[in-house]
Structure formats: C-alpha cells, structure tokens
Structure 1
Amino acid sequence: MLSILIGHSYFLRFDPKQFERAKPYPPLATLQVAAQVRAAGHEVALFDAMLAEGTADFEALLRAHAPQAVVLYEDNYNYLSKMCLGRMRVAACEMVAAARRRGARVIVAGSDPSDDPDPYLDAGAEVVLIGEGLDALHALLARLDGEPNAAVPALCDDLSGIVFRIGGRTVRRTGDPGTTSATNRTTAVGPAPAWPAINGRPVVWLGGDQAPRTTSSSPSNEPTTEPTPEPSRTPIHDVAWDLVDVGRYRAVWQRAHGRFSLNMAGSKGCSFRCAWCAKPIWGNRYQPRAPEAVAAEMLWLKRHLAPDHVWFADDIFGFRAEWVRRFADALAGEGGGLPFTIQTRADLITEAMADALRDAGCHEAWIGAESGSQRVLDAMHKGTTVEELHVARRRLGERGIRVGFFIQLGYLGEELEDLHATRALIETARPDDIGVSVSYPLPGTPFHEQVKAQLGAKTHWEDSGDLAMMFQGRYTTEFYRAFRNLLHRQVALAQGGEPVIGATGGLESLRHARSRLRRQWSVLLGRERRYRTSASAEVPQEPAQVRGGVARVAAAT
C-alpha cells in the first residue's frame, strides 16, 4: 500500500481578517478523504494548513514522511476555500512544486483547481480532480499502488472527472468514463475498483452506506434521498479526527473566545440556483445525511472531543422541518446535544422549522439575506422576498435563536435606492449580527457570464478581507467598504455594544454614538456621487414568468 500525505492549502495566517477573528475549524472534507484513503489500507499522514505557519511546515512534513503520493484535497465545506483566494492558490502551487521536487506523485482537488486547473498543472500537479472526485481519486491511488511509477496517460486512462496533460496539452475528461478531449489513448495500468469496505460496508462519506442519488437537471429544490443510518459506525470511520491536533484548535478558541467550537456537516450541496453562487464541487444537488446519523456524530464529538459548540458547515441545514425534528428527537433521546450554529434560507423558516431548531439546540442561524431590495433579490434569482426575511428573523428571535444576515453589496445594477433598502432592512429587522461582502464573480456562475467582459487582471480576491470590486459596479470599492463599516456599526449600536471614547454615561454615550452614526451616514451618502463609476448597467430583466417561477419553486419547498 502507498504512503500518502493528505493536506489542504487554507492557511489561517495568510488571511489577516480570519486570523484576527481566531475561529479556525479543522478541514472537514480533507479529514473525510483521509479516513476513506486510510480505510483502503494506505498509510496516511495529514498536513493541516489551518494553524500552520506557512508552506515551510509542509516541506518539513514532506522530509519527515517521504510520501509516495501527495493529495491536496481542499475542504469543500469551508466557504473560505470556496472563495478561491489568490493567496491560497499561491500556497497550494508552492506545495505542489515542493512535493514534486521530492519525487511524490501529486493529485489536487478543490473549487479553485476545478475552475482553473492550469496553474496547478503548471506547478507540477499530475492530475486535477473535477468536482468532488472521490471515485477518480480512489482509482488513481489503486493504480499507483499497483505501479508507483506509472506514466500519467496510463494512470488516467478511461477515468472521467479529471484534468491532466499529455505532451504539453491539457486534457479534461468529464461525463461518462472514457470520454476525453484528447485523442491519444493509452492502456491503463489497472482497473478502477469500487470503494473499499470495512467489515463488508463500503466506505463513502459521512453517515451511511448509500451513494447519493443525482437529482434531475430540472430546477427542483427537493433534496435527494438520505442514506440509511448505520448505528454501528462511529465518526472516526468517516472523519480522521485522530490525525488532527484538536488541542491546538481548542487553545486558539479558548484564548480568543473562552469557548471551543468544532465543525460538522449534515448535508452536501445546495439545489437552489442563485445567479452568483459557484458550485464546482457538488453542483445543483442537495444530499442530506440521515438525521439520526448526524445526531450520533454530534454525541460522539460531545463525549470524545468535548467542544462547547458546533458549527454546521452545510450550505443549508436541514432543509425540511421533518428532518430537523427527527434530529432533535434523536438528540433528546440521548440526553441532548450541543449548542450549534447553522446557515439557512428565509423561506425555509416555517413555524415548524423554527420550533424544531429550538428543540434541537440551535443557538444561531445565518440567513443569506443578500439585499433589502426586492429588485436586486429578483435579479440574483434568490427566490426569497424581503418580507420573508422579516418573518424568518421574527420567528427565530421569538424562540431565542440569534440571527445573522449575510449581506451582499454592489450586485450588477444595484443603485443607491437599493442600498437604502438594505440599510432599512438592517434597521427594521435588527439582526443580531451581519456579514457583509461585495458581489464576487466566480467562474461557472450566470453572474460571472454577465460581467466577465469587464474583468481585468484581478480575477480573485487575495484574502477574505479584500472586498475589491472586480467588475464595473455602480460605486467604487472604497464606497462599499465605507458602507459596510457603517452597517456593522449600526448593528453594534442596535445591540448596545459599541463603546464611545470619553462618554460620561451609558444612555448618554449610546445617544451620542447614534447621533455620530447618523452624521457619518449623512456624510457618506451626501458624497456618494464622488464614488460613482462609469458603469451604467441596469439589473438584467427576464420575462416575469421566469422570475416568478424561480420564486414559486423556492417558496414551495
């Protein structure tokens, strides 16, 4: 069997905003793959970039383990990995080059290499996996195990979902096995076997032995069938927690926040079709786990790793109230779980969903609000309404669940009146927290297609605090950053949380702070013309029946 070093390239230290936040999470998808590869009999070591100082730490591990193969498998649950940040691409390519210098075979997988494999191939990667790539990964490792020095064309023969090079040409194979964009075919070293088994059970992803069923290509938002739970399995089979230095994560969290949080996932993917959302890994599919399996994993973490809190990294947690109710009941039957935070959509927060989330122990729910302007929400194909945002916030708040809003500024065609509407949403809905970004066009999205002609040399943010406008929005980056800062201050004051230097008393200081904020809003908006760009694009309009259809599909689920 092979000796394999599995890692990822998201370095917290290379992302100043997230380094200051000090809320690191282990690379969940990377750990899932490590568990699967180890179950196949390979010798596995982990490089966890999250808390590493830099790529020199990776090179030290290369020297210590001398692996035959290196797999850089990004954490597909981590939204920061999905952002395809420029600084992390540089780090990944440095790691690829270092591994190749030491003679290791190198396979790369993640959102950024799926979108743009050439930089990774240029750095020396031999195969890039497209999307999740689990079947291809296992086949490649099995073939390398049979012939460690197999040439790349032979290694990749008859495999799909991969990108590699033959004689300087980039070959991208998608679709059914055997389809290829190149013509020279070679003989494969060995077959592509099924996934390995533990005690007769196939090792797939967290929580079950049933492979996810692909949904149809129609724009349905229904989740796929959940797998049957396996009571005899424990999370260590599915997530290689033993390879993680959990103590280091605990120390960072405790030092910065006085508590410790770990991450889980109850599902993969999202079946909604927001125009700006990139889905290079799981596509337009929502693949839930059995709620009982998710509850069992949380209880395992509670007993063995003792976090104080869990962050569910799902794009959408639960989807249906019945799923969340079963999750809550499974936890209650074992004495209760842990407080947790989720991401969800406003149109999914029915009374039944809010009740189930409360009973399950949900502490905080982040909603993709995006904008307070219905015009912009429709242009995004968001499928939600401003009224639903208010209703969801009220329902969750009434049950003691904190609510955060994700806000997106600068979407194509957004005007000053739309920004006023977003400010009004924050003032009236009064979320407990907000996360603010500007619209970020990533490859493979309708939004990217709309603005790609405007993109210059800068195509990715360097880090998560970049917030640079990379297309011609209505205003400059400077204006959106100032608008973001005032929105954050507005929320802080609504929570009574922003101190004022030199204040003489609580009520007086709050009154002064609010007055100062009003003046700052007045100054920024009074000067807004100075920040305007030459863009004159308007929100693209589609036939009313198409926009309404998107909204009806979302509202019906």
Structure 2
Amino acid sequence: MLNPGRVLLVHPLGYRACAASADISRIANIMPPLGLASIAAYLERRGIRATIVDCYARPGSDRAIRDHLLAERPAFLGISCTTSSFLDGIRIAEAARAALPGIRTVFGGPHVSALKEALFPRFPAMDLAVVGEGEETLSELIASGSGSPGNIRGIVFREGREGIARFSGFRDREIELDTLPFPAYENLDGFPDSYKLPIFNYPRAPNTSCISSRGCPYTCSYCDRSVFRRSFRHNSAEYLYEHLRYLKERFGIRHVNFYDDQFTFHRKRVEAFTGMMIDRPLGMTFNCAVRAEHVDPELLRRMKAAGCWMVSLGIETGDERLLAGHRQNADLGRIAGTIRMIKRAGIRTKGLLMMGLPGETEETIRRSMDYVFSLPIDDFNLAKFTPFPGSPIYETIRELGDFDEDWEKMDCMHFQFVTKGMTAARLEERYRDFYRSHFMRPRVLMGYAAMLWRSPGSWLRFARNMGDFLEFARTNRRLMDETC
C-alpha cells in the first residue's frame, strides 16, 4: 500500500557516480537544489511529508533512494532535471518503478518545461510532468491522488489506453513569492556543510545560495525561458532580510550568494534591503549578479556598506557586433565603465562569458580576450555556449552550425554546438588559451594570492583538490573515467 501523503524529491547527479570525484565543476561548486527545497517547504505546510535526496551533493545515492522507497512507500517520486541530468532522472525513475510498483513519477525543471509532451513517447518511465513553477501544481496533484491530472493546470499527463501525452495548459496566475515559506534547507542532508559556493567567491563559511526573484525581463537568445517564461517577480526587501536572518540564526550562515538573474533590477527594493542590513546588521556578506543598466555609484556604495563582497556581471563576449546579435543593450563601453565603477566601490568583480556563440570567429575570440584583460576583473567564468531547449535560439540552431544534441553533455562544459567556420578542436584550443592567459597575468596571480586572507577557506579547498584543479588547468575538460 502506497502512502498518498508522502513524496520523495530527487535531484539527479546527471552522470555516473564514479566520475563525481573528478568532476571539476562539482568540486568547485555544489549548490543546494533550492527549487526542490522550496517545493518541499510548500508541501509540508500543507501536511505532505517531503523528503529530498540530492544525488549531486551525495553521489552514489541509489541505495538511499531504494531504501527510502521501500521503508516509506511514497505515492509520488518527484525528479527535477536540467537537460544534462534528464537521462539520469529517467534511470532513477525506472529503478523506482521496479522497486515500488504503482509509484507515480513526476518530472519537473527546465528540460521538461521546454519539451513537454514531446518527451513522453520516448520515455515510458515518465508518468507526469510539471511545467513551470512546481509548488502549487505538485501540491494540487498530490492532493488529487493524480486521479484527474487533466483538471490541474501546469501538468503533462498520459491520457487513454494508448497513453497519449496531453498538456493541461499553463497556470492562470503566477505565485506571489512573499507567500512562500523559506526553502526547507533542513531537508537537505548535511546542509550547510555539504554545499560549497565557487572557490574564491566567498570570504567566509558556512555559506549558501539564495534566490530572491524568479524570471528575467530580458530576452537574450541563449537563456532558457521555459519555467518562468516572460515573467519577473521578486521578494520584498522585508522578506529578503528575514530570509537571511533565518539562515544566520538557524544554520549559522555567514555569506550568501543571491542566485538571481537581476538582483538590482528594482532599485527601491535594493535600497530598502541595504538599509535594513546597514541599520540592523546580521554580520553577513553577500554576492549578487547585475546588469550594467541597473547599478550606479550611490547604489554600489550602499551595497558595499550592507556587506556586498562580490558582483557578477554578464559580458558574454568582447565583440560588440556578436553581442548585439544575442542580447539587448550590447554596449561594451557601458559594461566596462560599470566594472570599473564596481571596483571603485571596493567590491570584487566577476565577469561571466561564453565561447562558441553562433557567429564566433578567431577574431571575436581575440577581441574577447583583449577586452576582458583590459578590465579590472578579479575572476571570470567562461562557459561553452550550449543551445538549451527553451532558449529562443534553440529553434533555429541547426541553421547556424553543427549541433550534436547529446543531452548528457549539454552542461556548458562541452562544445556541442560548433558555429560555421570553426571546429570543435579549435574552439577547445582557444578555450584553453583564454584560461591559460588569464591565470598567467601578474595582476590576477596577485589577486588570488590576496585570497589567502580574504578567503582562506577557498585556499584550503584548493589545497585539498590541487591535483584536480591542476588537471583542469591543463585540459579544461570534465574528467570521465570510461572504465569506471
């Protein structure tokens, strides 16, 4: 007999557990599955017991999943997937159905929100899918016992004897974020110590990530819009302050990374929040991401006084013509001025770039390197462009170059798309050149040396994993032992 008041929520690893110890992206950054934690908190407020198994934080959790299924016999298994973790999610669903016949598998996340019904004919282990935000939809689904999923908005379900997939349509309204409980961090095994922000991206531990908004008002070609679509909502300053206070008092958190696309989009909110942090200090610091259009010297001064330690800013490419083809307000002069403004405010800066956009050439890569190296950037992240389902460019990507749509490798760590005029081998070579040139610059080396006292915990992590970091510097590729 299955228990209708219980659900197991799983965050897949995305690849074989034996490869996790050599995955440099995982070693450098283990982010809590905040979406699942938010759903768990919402369900528990409605009397539904929600357990989370995070396979990314704890690889090799197959036995833990099976043991929980047999002991608790939940009626539902919820699996939240990105594109690269989707097939691992299918594997987990198949194993769950074999261990506990009758359990209903419910998939969510950006991959299923983008592809919806198209996935179901290929993957019989999918019983249902949640499209968009999961809190209200999954709660209604569990409360209904999945007897009439077609009556619940935001669901893809199988209909009739042939099991044809149908989408019930988008929900009529969006969630007001201040009505949600704080995520159920306590349901994450080992929180906060099991989770780590990117190395050299924080001054103190324990630390964690936090989301204070959903969606983005912009329409960049490469961004997945499948979950929140065109919406942009944010928590109030009061909610945000109380969220941080909860993290400090309950878990001892000392630094938070706001994992928002546009933290400063609504200036009045940031002014109110920073005012609270200045007037009633929590003894915490934070990072955030901004666009050049939405910061100024006075706002940065307030953010610094409130504890802002680092600001990330999307650059994408140092070639303005290429940039203009993929995002609005492609003004590299303005971006450069904003980066210098952030540095003058005494805040660490991080540039976010990608290589391999449609239209990329040897010349655009050279311009990107020249541009980035001319700026006072302390750290940067160079992603490999990946055309995700749900992004505007996905629909026409095959007209722009060669696209190997291997979902397991669509993690921004592989060149699955190769634009016309380039080769994958040459992109890999130039990618290595970019990182190597960055780390050989004296100013950059001095900056990392300063992290000995600005972020001592990062240096300890670096020392413990030195072999893996040095191997990454040599190859810049995820290390997967084919024989494991």
Task: Tell whether the structures are fold-level matches, with TM greater than 0.5.
Answer: yes
Q: Which residue of 1 aligns with 2:25?
A: 18
Deviation of residue 274 (structure 1)? Answer: 0.7
Deviation of residue 392 (structure 1)? Answer: 1.1
Secondary structure at 2:106 match in 1: strand
**Structure ranking higher in strand proportion:** 2
Deviation of residue 408 (structure 1)? Answer: 1.5
Runs of 5+ unmatched residues, structure 1: 75-80, 145-149, 178-193, 196-203, 210-236, 500-557
Name the CA distance, whole Å, in 2 between partners of 1:90 and 1:45. 22
Name the CA distance, whole Å, in 2 between partners of 1:251 and 1:10. 14
Name the CA distance, whole Å, in 2 between partners of 1:455 and 1:39. 48
Report whether the alignment pairs 1:34 with 2:5: no
* C-alpha contact (below 8 Å) 1:295/1:330 kept by paired residues: yes
Query: Relative to 1, partners in 2 of residues 1:388 and 1:475: Cα closer, same or farther, differing over 3 Å?
Result: same
Deviation of residue 43 (structure 1)? Answer: 2.1
Secondary structure at 2:231 match in 1: coil
Query: Relative to 1, partners in 2 of residues 1:251 and 1:440: Cα closer, same or farther, differing over 3 Å?
Result: closer
Identity between Structure 1 and Structure 2 (%)? 19
Q: Please give the per-residue CA displacement for 1:243-273, whole angstroms capped at 9, x wherever unaligned.
A: 12235x416649x887332111111110101
Query: Relative to 1, partners in 2 of residues 1:322 and 1:495: Cα closer, same or farther, differing over 3 Å?
Result: farther
Deviation of residue 401 (structure 1)? Answer: 0.9
Q: Which residue of 2 aligns with 1:157?
A: 150
Asked which structure has the greater CA Rg, the reply is: 1
Q: Please give the per-residue CA displacement for 1:135-168, whole angstroms capped at 9, x wherever unaligned.
A: 3322211111xxxxx6xxx522333322122213
Picking from 339, 345, 366, the partner of 1:393 is 339
Secondary structure at 2:409 match in 1: coil
Aligned length: 428
Deviation of residue 383 (structure 1)? Answer: 1.9
Name the CA distance, whole Å, in 1 between partners of 2:439 and 2:402. 35
Report whether the alignment pairs 1:361 with 2:307: yes
Task: Write out aligned runs for 1:88-127 (5 A).
Answer: 88-101=85-98, 102=100, 103-117=102-116, 118-119=118-119, 122-127=123-128
Runs of 5+ unmatched residues, structure 2: 447-484
Counterpart amino acid of 2:335?
L
* C-alpha contact (below 8 Å) 1:17/1:464 kept by paired residues: no
Deviation of residue 33 (structure 1)? Answer: 0.4
Secondary structure at 2:432 match in 1: helix
Picking from 43, 59, 68, the partner of 2:49 is 43
Q: Please give the per-residue CA displacement for 1:91-117, whole angstroms capped at 9, x wherever unaligned.
A: 100121122221212211111112234
* C-alpha contact (below 8 Å) 1:71/1:106 kept by paired residues: yes
Deviation of residue 317 (structure 1)? Answer: 1.0
Secondary structure at 1:417 match in 2: helix
* C-alpha contact (below 8 Å) 2:114/2:227 kept by paired residues: no
Name the CA distance, whole Å, in 1 between partners of 2:281 and 2:376. 34
* C-alpha contact (below 8 Å) 2:32/2:195 kept by paired residues: no
Deviation of residue 133 (structure 1)? Answer: 4.0
Picking from 435, 441, 462, the partner of 1:488 is 435
Secondary structure at 2:419 match in 1: coil
Counterpart amino acid of 1:49?
C
Name the CA distance, whole Å, in 1 between partners of 2:149 and 2:194. 43
Deviation of residue 5 (structure 1)? Answer: 1.3
Name the CA distance, whole Å, in 1 between partners of 2:281 and 2:195. 29
* C-alpha contact (below 8 Å) 2:352/2:381 kept by paired residues: yes
Name the CA distance, whole Å, in 2 between partners of 1:493 and 1:430. 15
Picking from 233, 243, 249, the partner of 2:187 is 243
Secondary structure at 1:458 match in 2: coil
* C-alpha contact (below 8 Å) 1:5/1:70 kept by paired residues: yes
Name the CA distance, whole Å, in 2 between partners of 1:142 and 1:399. 51
* C-alpha contact (below 8 Å) 2:312/2:352 kept by paired residues: yes
Counterpart amino acid of 2:182?
D
Name the CA distance, whole Å, in 2 between partners of 1:243 and 1:175. 29
Task: Write out aligned runs for 1:78-477 (5 A).
Answer: 81=82, 84-85=83-84, 88-101=85-98, 102=100, 103-117=102-116, 118-119=118-119, 122-144=123-145, 154-166=147-159, 167-175=162-170, 207-208=178-179, 237-247=181-191, 249-250=192-193, 253=196, 259-453=205-399, 454=401, 456-460=403-407, 462=409, 464=411, 466-477=413-424
Counterpart amino acid of 1:2?
G
Q: Please give the per-residue CA displacement for 1:42-85, whole angstroms capped at 9, x wherever unaligned.
A: 122221222222351322322232212112245xxxxxx4xx21
Picking from 56, 63, 73, the partner of 1:66 is 73
Q: Please give the per-residue CA displacement for 1:419-461, whole angstroms capped at 9, x wherever unaligned.
A: 2221111121131111112321122333222323455553435
Deviation of residue 377 (structure 1)? Answer: 1.3
Q: Please give the per-residue CA displacement for 1:393-416, whole angstroms capped at 9, x wherever unaligned.
A: 111101111111111222212233
Deviation of residue 9 (structure 1)? Answer: 1.7
Name the CA distance, whole Å, in 2 between partners of 1:366 and 1:120. 38
Name the CA distance, whole Å, in 1 between partners of 2:216 and 2:169. 21
Secondary structure at 2:313 match in 1: strand
Query: Relative to 1, partners in 2 of residues 1:459 and 1:347: Cα closer, same or farther, differing over 3 Å?
Result: farther
* C-alpha contact (below 8 Å) 2:404/2:417 kept by paired residues: no
* C-alpha contact (below 8 Å) 1:459/1:470 kept by paired residues: no
Q: Give the number of the structure with larger relative contact order, counting CA–CA contacts within 8 Å between residues 6 or more apart.
A: 2
TM-score normalized by structure 2?
Answer: 0.81
* C-alpha contact (below 8 Å) 1:451/1:471 kept by paired residues: no
Which deviates the most, 402-411 or 453-462?
453-462
Which deviates the most, 37-46 or 47-56?
47-56
